[in-house]
Structure 1
Amino acid sequence: MAHKISLINMKGGVGKSTLAVNLAWHFSAYTSWLKKVLVIDLDPQFNASQYLLGPDKYLKHVVTKEKPTVYHVFERYSPEFKGIDLDKAIKNITENQSGGKIDLLPAQLELAYTLKNPSDKARNLKEFIDTVESEYDVIIIDCSPTDSMLTEAAYLCTDHVLIPVRPEYLSSIGLPLLYRSILDFKEKYKKHPIEIAGVVFNATDDYSPEENKSKKNVKEVCKNLDIKIFKKEISFSRSYPKGARENAPIFRTSYARYDRSQEFLNFTEEFAKEVGIS
């Protein structure tokens, strides 16, 4: 079975999509892993989809071609989409001769419409993933920063939750809400295993004393909730948005600093060990 990981924080702007995409690239490309990875974009803003495909390819291969996306997975039983071929929903992004690859189940803006009538749709994603899971080693789900039917759908497909936190004012505001959301889910689905892998400090910049105060606040909340904080942090770098424009991970972004690339690799290794990805 694939390792299924959701990146969630109930606060936006913490770099979930950037982290999700770069984790996918590391797991697929580095010889330490060479995994077959599926990225699922569960955010109506579809940032992960554009990061992996680029705006032009996204428009050409998703919107213009009117190919199915995760939106159609949720709406699969709607009369409007009766008979739609969901096998065409997954797009290949990259594949190497050593066996690693990245596939994408993209999102589109219309995914927000699903939230207007969410009844009995949360299980649709799991039903779909159950049909393709055997083809992958790792499944990474990039979630939207709200507690909704999409969140429940992600939980149903998740083994471990990774929480990116940007150490700034109000950085811990989403942690208690997320923790409560997972407890409520566990109460509703008692047989479904889901665990919080931990918090990673993302986009750190050593701006003292504000960053230190924020980190201290997050650490206090995590201690009270018994949530692990990863030792390896990911520093702010302009190479990440540049990489999004180039459709490239940090280790292939032009002129990216070696220490920033190595930093993300170090975190990936720590995270992989925590969740059992060998």
Structure 2
Amino acid sequence: MVTTHHRYAQVDGHQIFYREAGARERPTLVLLHGFPTSSLMFRELIPRLADRWHVIAPDHLGFGLSDAPTTHDFTYSFDALADLTRALIAQLRIEHYGLFVQGHGAQVGWRLALRSPEAVLAVVSQNGNAYVEGLQPEFFTALREYWLQPNPRTEAGVRETLTLELTRWQYLTGVADETRVDPNTWIHDHHLLSRSGNDLIQLALFADYASNPPLYPRVHRYFRAYQVPLLAVWGRGDPIFGPAGALAFTADLPDAEIHLLDGGHFLLESALDEVTPLIEAFLEQHLEEPALN
């Protein structure tokens, strides 16, 4: 069994927690988690991949075990999270890497790819959206109202996403056998969401989520120009990012590999055994360090 190391790094004055496993001389896969979880979502995937690849999985600022400065001390945005992630990758002296993106992590990952397209060798998207077709109306209606008219009424609608009930809903919706999902997942996430001031952090990021759909055309141009190898492993029952978001990748990446699997937003919690071989086969084909000239 490969050992997973639990590390901290000082990045631009903030302490960032990350999990690391595998030999550093092997090609690197960077795992970027979504809302409202942390790198903990990769706890079982990491040892399955780290015998062949070098794997790092950071907690975004404001999530997990990373620092969570108040919104008075830090301006939370997806650009800012991408800046910190890029700085961490540079600090670890990683020049090329694959990306695994999910939820919020996809919006960080697309920014990394746009800033350093030559660095990204391959992408695995597990319900990591890049197309308006993937935005499920039931979830995003309240968000759009908040973007257009931030006020106490629209904020109340977004605050529902911070409740234990909605966190549990994210984990279980679309999962045929709910007993396969460990309740500690949503209990742990809700505990971290409930820290003093963390609600304001999440509200700031939800407000900034309005910047993501306008970014999608740039992401699509990047896909068309670089034809980065992409695997989409998608829970078809995801109530946040629907299957249309997975299928849309082929509009710009005709060779993208798309798999719609039984499951929901956090597919690794209920379908890890189905997902892992797909990721392994994809990485074996596409994640290699570029040859030196």
Give TM class, smaller chain.
Answer: 0.3 to 0.5
TM-score under structure 2 normalisation? 0.40
Name the structure, 1 or 2, with higher relative contact order (CA <8 Å, separation 6+): 1
TM-score under structure 1 normalisation? 0.42
